Structure 1
Amino acid sequence: MQVDAPRQVVLAPDKFKGTVTAQRLVELMAAAVAERGDRTTVTPLPVADGGDGSVTAAVSAGWTAVAVPAADAWGEALEAPVARLGDRAIVEVASVCGLGARRPGPARAASATTYGVGLALAALLDDGVREITLALGGAAATDGGTGMLAALGVELCDAGGTPLAPGGTALAGLARVRADGLHPALRELQLVLACDVDTPMVGPDGSAEMFARQKGADDATIARLSAGLAHAAPLLENVFGAPGASLRPGAGAAGGLGWAGLLLGGLPRSGAEVFLDLLGAAELIRGADLVITGEGRLDAQSLRGKAPVAVARLAATYGVRTVAVVGSDLLTTEQGGSGPFADVVALDRIDPACADDPELTGRLVGRAVHTLLAAHPGPGTPARNGARS
């Protein structure tokens, strides 16, 4: 008598930002699988794409969490968690100068800075790190990474020689740039820019236009931030010998921090691909029967480099279907419908209150997993309740 092999399911969600971490989602999904009582085995693979959770993802892959001195987006000193492996490190911008639970207004959005990221990099360089991956997601600042550059030794002054105030709107007064004081170890640094978006820094789809509103900026502040970035771009690009860097894909990540990384010779990569490689995702997905991924909001931006889409595309190369549990699904038919997913369950269509209720979200994730497993049975697994794969 032939016994069917257990169904192999990989659980590879990203976080529901501000509600549930990727690790907690894996736990909820695994519990839902176990409740079914069928022959299904799970492989946990919490993922990240350069935003919140990137350091945690690296630690889950064997890196060590360490703390380095830094400062938040408004200059408050902090110890930032980074992942370290030998002379390699991963710096998560969101944990240095991210919004967290804060909801800043226009004035704070205008003055937010990436200076703390530069402090963290300098500390790592001083400690012998020579390869740094900047996880470029979740920044509160829209300063083009000029704060980071200043912390690393770049002088940014107005026409009178006074150093600029922090923040993106102050860049409109930039007149003098000197880079001869850059940290000397930058010459030996291999810098990887893990971008979770592919937008440029300036232009109609630039950093200020696309993302500053969610950081507290109003229309007037967005216009000032945009003007500051556009003014600063050619001045710094001339000094660093990188004309047009502000228009490159990924330059707009983390409020233009991606652009500053390009000026330093950084190599831009899809953040999702960086972390899928780091986590060994290909080996875990190859041979699986189904992948369940997810994120808080599935929208057009997801198709431009977010982790769940990267998971689905990787799985497709091995002929493995991917389904998704999301907080909300805003993809239209014109934008690709369900994208690369065989199926999507949006929790807010079950109960809209889940957006503000992590406990309710957890229960709905379990229900969604039951629904998806029933609708997509693996080889030798009978469909339940009439569901078909």
Structure 2
Amino acid sequence: MQVEPHRRVVLAPDKFKGTVPAARLVEAMESAVADTSPWVTAAPLPLADGGDGSVASAVLAGWSSVVVRATDALGAPVHAPVARLDRRAIVEVAAICGLGARRPTPADARKAGTFGVGEAVAALLDDGADDITLALGGSATTDAGTGMLRALGLDLRDGTGRALPPGGAALDRCARVDTSALHPGLARTRLTLACDVDTPMVGADGSAEMFARQKGADDRTIAQLSAALSHCAPLLEDAFCVRGARARPGAGAAGGLAWAGLLLGGRIRSGAEVFLDLLGARDQIRGADLVITGEGRLDEQSLRGKAPVAVAEFAAALGVRTVAIVGSDRLGPQERERAPFTDVVSLDRIDPGCARDPELTRRLVYQATRDLLQTHLRPAAPLRNGAAQ
């Protein structure tokens, strides 16, 4: 009697943004593994790369979730989850000043701010946290992080001595910068800026030019925000004695919030790498037979270090193959050659309706997982009949 060798598959998808969170994708994949063979063990590893879902990933890795009171991008009150582990904390920017389901206008884009992020950081500092990670994806803001800095004690005024109103557009009137009242806890805190973009804060490919349109800005507003950020950047860099941070790759993440973090002495890291470390990915992947990852849209931006590509490169270094299930595959032939996946299944080629139907997406992920297991593990044991739970 032939005995099927034991196999282990790591299930490491990122969210399908706007459709299915990573944890629910893992559930569908686990059902597929359970229905495929008794000799295959699933190791769940839902991913995040610094966007929405970052706190949930940390909680699944054993961190605690606490709620802080803050304000959202337009000043409304919000109760935001923050992950805590001893003196460490993770603040998810998208949960505080993210786009969510909002359809912002140009006026919103001009005044949206990050004050709530600073409120959350201040609360954590007051509670003894001294190692804080800002998960920077998914913001609705382009204020260069000045809202966060002001919540932490920075004073910004115009030429008449009046305090500037919130938002990025007002920064073109910035004339005076006072750092004397910054929160004292910042001096003893390690600040990590987790992001998945390499955009600088200002320039032809700066944060306003690259991301403000999806936050409600029109052409006129993009130009206004770009000019305002370019005006305020040297003033604040002089005040913080930090030179050239505005041109650093990644400084433009979250509308320049990463740049503000650099002024505070923070360090930019790939969001995917931060969360792979946090989740103990090395121990999970080492010795596995296959990694199954995925995201909603696989495109050129994915190749710049988003979670599925990062986990595939991580696995390759450990000698483990990675396959991907994606909502849509937008890579061209040359880009596909650079992608570190053994195989890619694009769900919209099976049923285009999946982009609007979370339950359909989950069923397709279940079936794609079964197909990939059959193709890449070739189990000797016959498949069981079953459906996603």
Return the TM-score normalized by structure 1: 0.95
- Give the AA of the match of 2:41: T
How far apart are residue 141 of structure 1 and its match? 0.4
How far apart are residue 382 of structure 1 and its match? 8.1
Cα distance change on mapping 1:107 and 1:383 into 2, 3 Å: farther
In 2: Cα distance, 1:306 partner to 1:383 partner: 36
CA contact 1:338–1:344 (8 Å) conserved in 2: no
Residue of structure 2 in register with 1:114 after alignment: 114
Residue of structure 1 in register with 2:317 after alignment: 317
CA contact 1:9–1:291 (8 Å) conserved in 2: yes
Helix, strand or coil: the match of 2:66? strand
Helix, strand or coil: the match of 2:83? strand
1:171-200 Cα deviation digits (max 9, x unpaired): 111111111110111111111111121211
Q: How many residues in Structure 1 have an aligned counterpart in Structure 2?
A: 383
Residue of structure 2 in register with 1:330 after alignment: 330
Helix, strand or coil: the match of 1:334? helix
1:62-84 Cα deviation digits (max 9, x unpaired): 11100112110001112211011
CA contact 1:374–1:383 (8 Å) conserved in 2: no
In 2: Cα distance, 1:73 partner to 1:226 partner: 18
Helix, strand or coil: the match of 1:9? strand
CA contact 1:28–1:362 (8 Å) conserved in 2: yes
Moved more, 140-149 or 221-230: 221-230
Residue of structure 2 in register with 1:6 after alignment: 6
- Give the AA of the match of 2:53: G
Corresponding position: 1:357 with 2:357 = yes
Helix, strand or coil: the match of 1:335? helix
Residue of structure 2 in register with 1:285 after alignment: 285
CA contact 1:155–1:177 (8 Å) conserved in 2: yes
In 2: Cα distance, 1:254 partner to 1:214 partner: 12
How far apart are residue 334 of structure 1 and its match? 3.0
- Give the AA of the match of 1:323: V
Return the TM-score normalized by structure 2: 0.95
Corresponding position: 1:136 with 2:145 = no
CA contact 1:159–1:175 (8 Å) conserved in 2: yes
CA contact 2:4–2:381 (8 Å) conserved in 1: no
Corresponding position: 1:184 with 2:184 = yes
How is 1:143-222 mapped onto 2 (pairs within 5 angstroms)? 143-222=143-222
Higher relative contact order (CA 8 A, sep 6+): 2
Runs of 4+ in 1 over 3 A off after TM superposition: 380-384
- Give the AA of the match of 1:302: S
Any unmatched runs of 5+ in structure 2? Answer: 384-389
- Give the AA of the match of 2:323: V
Residue of structure 2 in register with 1:346 after alignment: 346
Helix, strand or coil: the match of 1:376? helix
Residue of structure 1 in register with 2:260 after alignment: 260
Cα distance change on mapping 1:287 and 1:383 into 2, 3 Å: farther
CA contact 1:153–1:182 (8 Å) conserved in 2: yes
In 2: Cα distance, 1:209 partner to 1:115 partner: 22
Helix, strand or coil: the match of 1:11? strand
In 2: Cα distance, 1:365 partner to 1:43 partner: 16
- Give the AA of the match of 1:371: D
- Give the AA of the match of 1:228: A
Helix, strand or coil: the match of 1:140? coil
CA contact 1:109–1:215 (8 Å) conserved in 2: yes
- Give the AA of the match of 1:46: P
CA contact 1:142–1:255 (8 Å) conserved in 2: yes
Cα distance change on mapping 1:240 and 1:383 into 2, 3 Å: farther
- Give the AA of the match of 1:98: G
Q: Percent identity, please.
A: 67
- Give the AA of the match of 1:43: A
CA contact 2:113–2:142 (8 Å) conserved in 1: yes
How far apart are residue 320 of structure 1 and its match? 0.6
CA contact 1:152–1:182 (8 Å) conserved in 2: yes
1:86-109 Cα deviation digits (max 9, x unpaired): 111110101111111111111111
Residue of structure 1 in register with 2:76 after alignment: 76
In 2: Cα distance, 1:88 partner to 1:7 partner: 35
In 1: Cα distance, 2:165 partner to 2:247 partner: 25
CA contact 1:331–1:338 (8 Å) conserved in 2: no
How far apart are residue 294 of structure 1 and its match? 0.5
Moved more, 363-372 or 43-52: 363-372
In 1: Cα distance, 2:283 partner to 2:59 partner: 18
Two-structure CA RMSD over aligned residues (Å): 1.6
In 1: Cα distance, 2:9 partner to 2:281 partner: 13
Residue of structure 2 in register with 1:387 after alignment: none
Residue of structure 1 in register with 2:64 after alignment: 64
CA contact 2:37–2:381 (8 Å) conserved in 1: no
Cα distance change on mapping 1:2 and 1:381 into 2, 3 Å: closer
In 1: Cα distance, 2:167 partner to 2:331 partner: 33
CA contact 1:331–1:337 (8 Å) conserved in 2: no
